[in-house]
Amino acid sequence: MMMKWVGSVSRDLVRAVFRDWFGLQDNQADLLVILWEQGGGGLKRGDLCAALNSHRRISAGALYERVRGLRAAMEVEAVDFDQVRGYRLTEVGMAECARAIREVVGLLLANEVMAWGEASHPSRQGMCAPR
C-alpha cells in the first residue's frame, strides 16, 4: 500500500491527530484532512467525493452532516461554504488544525524524551538508538 503524504507528514497520522484531537468520526476526519490539504482553498461536492475516494456520489445531506460534525467539534467559523469555491477551511480552521498537530507532536516528543531516559530503552541495552 502506498502511503499518502500531507506536506512531509503521513496523511494517516494527520487523520489520526484530527480524529482524536477533535473527537471526530472517521468520515469526518477524512473530510478534515482533505480540506486541510487544500490550504484554505475550496472544493465543491463532486471534487470532495473524488478526494474521499467514494465510489458513489455523496448526497448533499450526507456531506452537510459531515461538515456539521466538523463545525460542532471545531470553532463554528472554521469551515466555510460558498457556491463558487465550495467547502473550505477558513484561516481560523487552518490555525485550529495546525495547533492540534503542534500540540499532539509536542506530546509525542515529550513522551519520547521521557521514555529515552528509562533504563529499559533499547539504546540502554546495546542496541543502536534511532537517529
What element of type H or E holds 79? strand 79-82
What pLDDT is recorded for position 106? 85
With a cut of 70, which residues of the chain have pLDDT below it?
1-9, 54-55, 112-131
Question: pTM for this structure?
Answer: 0.77
Instruction: Count Cβ atoms within 10 A of the Cβ of residue 106 and give its class: 0-12 exposed, 13-18 middle, 19 or more buried.
Output: exposed
Q: How far, in Å, CA of 87 to CA of 33, rounded?
A: 13
* Beta pairing partners, 81: 87
What pLDDT is recorded for position 50? 81
User: What is the largest distance, in Å, between two alpha-carbon atoms of the chain?
Assistant: 61
What pLDDT is recorded for position 114? 58
Q: How far, in Å, CA of 63 to CA of 86, rounded?
A: 12
Residue type, 91: E
Residue type, 8: S
Looking at CATH, the fold of the domain delimited by 5-116 is given as: Arc Repressor Mutant, subunit A (1.10.10)
What pLDDT is recorded for position 130? 42
